[in-house]
Structure 1
């Protein structure tokens, strides 16, 4: 008889609702038992009529674990009444009625059979995690239910979620709530923010808990790298044979995962080091202590750059509460949070749904395969962001998977059938005629895993070929294990120590590198699994390692990179990139490479993994990405218009050659653009030309019917006033032949030129007889700069514009330095002159300084002639 679980009292309510309603929402806290009890409770409902139950789990580990628990409760083995389907591993049989599957598997089932014949109910477990596949799967299932299968039931189950929005999405579905069962958990925070390394802080917290608290321990860390560092440090401390340290993350071998979940033996204590995988679906037996780093690692996609990266972020309050609840499942417990109370107040209430931050290329392809060109045709809890969808469609068009209307192509349909990211599927399809399919499978497998190589010191080699060669050698040296069906199995019971021993025994080493042997086995098995669904050629030769760059170019046409003269790179998508110091000279000096892994921080991305590619390979196999482009443009460095033909791949210029005899109109357009870019100073301005411009602008400021000849207006209207004079000109030297004075005067009517000469004189004759130019650079205040002595005898300020505007006088010393600025000459003579005279007479005693300036003789010499 099965033991009572907290979910059991509400199961009759759920059964009753589904007998009359199509949909339901079940909310129950972690550990209530919903994952293993709900499918069994629905198995014999009359409306199911021998149809199958499909339950979706976000993670493979949780899917296998749930299937095993349900099968055990029926006294059966997995694959009989209860089975599972996850990527690379399937255990179902002809009698299987309950299938636990991961969410990507549901999408494949829907695309193959939109009506889901033979399926009575779809259960979305742990929906609060809001994975991309869960949101897509629910949207597709709702359309199937509305259009093809009114009898199909949908149940959404969650630990912590606002149930009402989900219920509304499901057509006002009834909500069933289970209060669950938990024991009190004492929560501790840090006294102050810590700048200690995470692994050191975590180890110190583990040691404290071992001394002060009973029970097993569950430690939440952001990723596998942190788990391995904490594990290594704890082993160094030699905690004793009674303390077992068990890592738990998604890509561990099945044996290690089972060991982490299994209860301890008598007198033994267990420390489970886990990622967020242990937050909800999984039950880790015996845990009464939780140590929470408060961090998790999530993918972040940038529509701006078209790149994704893993980012370590703070958990939400909901996730933190779920983690703490793990300590109170069996008895009272304790939770150590590695952050302060003040930091706790700033946590977000819920995690951001993956659909709002992920790469949507695969989703866009699935929608196109479903026949949807506009996501708004489906029902979403959160619709896909427009920017990310736009980028996804653009990539699919570049891959040939979608046409300009957003309709899937035949090539796109073939990509959608592979169950891989469209980039990798496109690479594999193109590898077939090249007879390099095995190599493409190996590349896809390597890039689908975390990097299994770490350089012992310094920066790791960014050359992807090193990884592929290593996995190839490993796969050849260690034969794969096979299941009874003959399929290669990705999961093995070998521990990392066993695999490492195999590698050492075979003499397979990577000097200077630390190699994760378990990852190597997983990658090799994944490559073999991909090969099983690929049409391999019977005559396929040995893998050509020099083809890696070309195959990458198929997958990442937007990341083909060209080396610049300064050693940096330009990507075909227009972004810059830098290659860190690399151990491989072959990649660092390559004119072209393809970046498979890079970040999107700053103006230039940092390349982590890449492979060289030969220009000839690109020309032979990537012609669809290239275009011939003729350009007639201004070359600033040469100071002339150049006409060139370019072979371009995105933003990259692969080849360039001059074009003879471009059209005159093209030359004119390029020259005008060059002048606009360089500014008007590139034109041959003379003093007379500037004065025409300034005088005319002076009149424009007084009367808007005059043309505006300011620099800004001239730049804005280059084609109109200057264009007719540029035909046949190509360079800066040619421009020097222009007569700007005549060109500018031609912009005025005959009447305006006459009025300009009459009202706005170029020069004014002063009392000394000198003819001095007027400065009109400031239209509000034209200036006449003249030596003070040349103005003796003139009582009033000279005026222009038919006597309406006084000139601003800059009265100069004999050394041509201003001693007075005035528009009222008469006032200057009466008041300021005598003070100025004292100063100037002392500094220039040989010059003429009369007591009565109005009666004195003006002079342009030191003293007037007798």
Structure 2
């Protein structure tokens, strides 16, 4: 019998468990950790109770249980069993139980003491699924507070062990070298032709690999759609059997993909085959270079599947599959130069997924727990808001209804629908939880329900293909869910049940020809013109593409206003709103009947003056402050005064807008339109911001006008970079000190004009002008204006605006 690499470190694992009760085990794929560690711990007698091992995927859970049972020479369900959603093979004699992660969460929530469980093993923890992160966090809480004898083992192929060990209180780390044969890596010589479809390019690389190598071929593709298309392109490949492998397949088909074949096997798989499954006789890997992940946008409240480039860690995992049984070859559908642009690791699911289920589980647990990666606060806030809307939380705490939802094996949205509508909603819940049952059909949910009810009749009456395997999975899941729900005679319609699950995605059609809706949650949605639902006034969007601005509707159902009122009448109410309409350029005062962001009815409202003024103020903020010359001069004067460090109001644009409610709101009575805003003089409102003492101080420090020696007040222009005045030269005779303003005593820009009002000199140093340039000006001007005085010494002359009488 071949010795597995993990056997060299089993004694170290046992020693760590004996000393600390916890251990982090690093072991590459193929080392044998999934099979050997649970069996060794069981044989050691160290574990008092059952050993529960978590596997992230159902296929891997079944396969692990079968391998261990085979090692013991027993049937599954005896010493070794498994428990996955909808299926269990365990007995009273079962000591090792392999479960999927959601099962563990329910075990812990139902029995925090985990009675009868002696050890928890988290396998393939590097995949960082949300349930695995939650399960480990809860397990650590239990060990700390209730069960210090509970053994915890975390096993991973590629994960950096130190952060996990630190989370576990500096648990010991054991590393297995593993066993891997050399794998040659072959890259593309150049990037794929942009005109070549992805599937065609990968299929061509598979054909090349088959021609150049021997042994089984494992091809990594992002999803079922790509697998089916590549399968079609490879049909008839000489000497080869093409075997698809993805999570949504039934178990018999998955086992067929793993089983040995008479001919050469080409397995087309998703990431399900990266680590936890052993596929016999694989010597060649063709990596398509893409992975599909769920991304959640807390701003839109929607998740969507995105296809991304693989990370370096994923690519290395896939490459390693070629060296499990012998030397192998890995073909990569990218160039060697592109490898440097790959991210190091894929994101943990807790960083990118919808956290509604996690928020519900934490509420049920009754407090926060320590995670390896802290959930995004914004995403958690969105999740809790949704749960509040579903009635699962109240003031942050779980309600009795929330406890019911937590016990159902579906998303809280669907659990709420099931809890309210009863077993009649089971089929819809199964349809919404599965991939689309129709191929190429318009986004009408009613079509999907009809296809599930009678696939043969549906295909006879419609042009769209019914995906029978998906329909079978839907029916199986519906039966399971129906059994989990108490009967109800609620009698909800399809649209009402959908509205129960998606209260934030009820859409009201916008005005205009294009089929666009505003959703009750505040976002937008659109649909292609010409589809059956394009003219519906109200819809419930059950599947959207996740675009944050305006999501494309992929699945929806029409709902009448009466149906909406019947299920959400308690959330529909009247509100009075007075606001500035940017589109209309005026204050709008309306009385509206609303459901979330939807306005179901709209009437005129005679709003009070203060509400109108506040709306006008919002218009002022949007359109900006409009300054008359007088208001602009006042603002400039105050800003100059502020330069001295005294306590003056902030008259800058930002300062005025920030404090507008205090100083401007009382003056906006009667302002309703953009024209009113443009014609509104801010001067009096600005003056009102100044105390009597400040007005007096301002007039002295930064006056609005300059008083000439003749007593005439000349307005000071504060619009330019430097404040200035314009004055006749003769009126400034006798002035020996240049006029200044402001706390910093800035000199005025003085424009001296001739008796004919033409500029003859601009100066900011009048005494200097009298001493220097005046003589030249006098020489030029005496001939042009002989009746006006041009004294030799203007500093001692009398100021005047008069001319000499004619003939003198």
TM-score range (shorter-chain normalised) is 0.7 to 0.9
Paired residue for 1:572? 520
Paired residue for 1:304? 299
Matched, 1:127 2:139: no
Q: How much has 1:463 moved relative to structure 2?
A: 2.4
Deviations 1:611-630 (A, max 9, x none): 23333333332245445433
Paired residue for 1:528? 479
Q: How much has 1:723 moved relative to structure 2?
A: 5.1
Paired residue for 1:231? 231
Q: How much has 1:331 moved relative to structure 2?
A: 1.7
Distance 2:694 2:2 in 1: 107
Q: How much has 1:771 moved relative to structure 2?
A: 11
| Conservation of the 8 A alpha-carbon contact between 2:509 and 2:537 | yes
> What SS is found at the alignment partner of 1:43?
helix
Paired residue for 2:253? 256
Change (3 A) 1:190 1:764: same
Paired residue for 1:778? 720
Distance 2:353 2:697 in 1: 70
Paired residue for 1:844? none
> What SS is found at the alignment partner of 2:331?
strand
Change (3 A) 1:593 1:813: farther
Distance 2:127 2:157 in 1: 9
Q: How much has 1:261 moved relative to structure 2?
A: 0.5
Gaps of 5+ in 1: 475-502, 838-847
Distance 1:804 1:86 in 2: 83
Matched, 1:158 2:156: yes
Q: How much has 1:46 moved relative to structure 2?
A: 2.9
Paired residue for 1:553? 499
- Would you say how many aligned residue pairs link Structure 1 and Structure 2? 784
Q: How much has 1:678 moved relative to structure 2?
A: 4.1
Distance 1:183 1:832 in 2: 100
Change (3 A) 1:168 1:667: closer
> What SS is found at the alignment partner of 1:351?
coil
Change (3 A) 1:849 1:446: farther
Q: How much has 1:716 moved relative to structure 2?
A: 5.5
> What SS is found at the alignment partner of 1:114?
coil
Residues 252-291 of structure 1 mapped to structure 2, 5 A cutoff: 252-265=249-262, 268-291=263-286
Distance 2:364 2:401 in 1: 11
Residues 669-748 of structure 1 mapped to structure 2, 5 A cutoff: 669-681=614-626, 718=660
Change (3 A) 1:297 1:811: farther
Residues 522-671 of structure 1 mapped to structure 2, 5 A cutoff: 522-537=473-488, 547-566=493-512, 567=514, 568-575=516-523, 577-586=524-533, 588-601=534-547, 603-626=549-572, 628-635=574-581, 641-660=587-606, 662=608, 664-671=609-616
Matched, 1:407 2:405: no
Change (3 A) 1:253 1:820: farther
Paired residue for 1:207? 207
Change (3 A) 1:21 1:558: same
Residues 504-523 of structure 1 mapped to structure 2, 5 A cutoff: 508-509=459-460, 511-523=462-474
Paired residue for 2:6? 7
Residues 32-111 of structure 1 mapped to structure 2, 5 A cutoff: 32-48=31-47, 51-111=49-109
Paired residue for 2:796? none
Change (3 A) 1:855 1:557: same
Change (3 A) 1:515 1:210: same
Give the TM-score, by structure 1 length: 0.79
Change (3 A) 1:407 1:540: closer
Paired residue for 1:479? none
Q: Which moved more, 1:127-136 or 1:387-396?
A: 387-396
> What SS is found at the alignment partner of 1:426?
helix
Q: How much has 1:252 moved relative to structure 2?
A: 1.0
Paired residue for 2:377? 386
Paired residue for 1:366? 361
Q: How much has 1:411 moved relative to structure 2?
A: 0.8
Deviations 1:214-270 (A, max 9, x none): 1111111111111111111011xx223x310000111112222111101121xx111
| Conservation of the 8 A alpha-carbon contact between 1:797 and 1:807 | no
Distance 1:124 1:283 in 2: 18
Give the TM-score, by structure 2 length: 0.84
Change (3 A) 1:123 1:831: same
Change (3 A) 1:765 1:580: same
| Conservation of the 8 A alpha-carbon contact between 2:125 and 2:156 | yes
Q: Which moved more, 1:634-643 or 1:445-454?
A: 634-643
Paired residue for 2:434? 449
| Conservation of the 8 A alpha-carbon contact between 1:375 and 1:384 | no
Change (3 A) 1:57 1:812: farther
Distance 1:299 1:720 in 2: 48
Change (3 A) 1:618 1:781: same
Paired residue for 2:751? 809
Distance 1:832 1:608 in 2: 83
1:470 aligned to which of 451, 461, 474 = 451
1:375 aligned to which of 364, 369, 372 = 369
Change (3 A) 1:291 1:743: closer
Residues 742-761 of structure 1 mapped to structure 2, 5 A cutoff: 749=692
Q: How much has 1:84 moved relative to structure 2?
A: 1.6
Distance 2:24 2:638 in 1: 78
Q: How much has 1:329 moved relative to structure 2?
A: 1.8
Distance 1:414 1:315 in 2: 39
| Conservation of the 8 A alpha-carbon contact between 1:761 and 1:800 | no
Change (3 A) 1:734 1:548: same
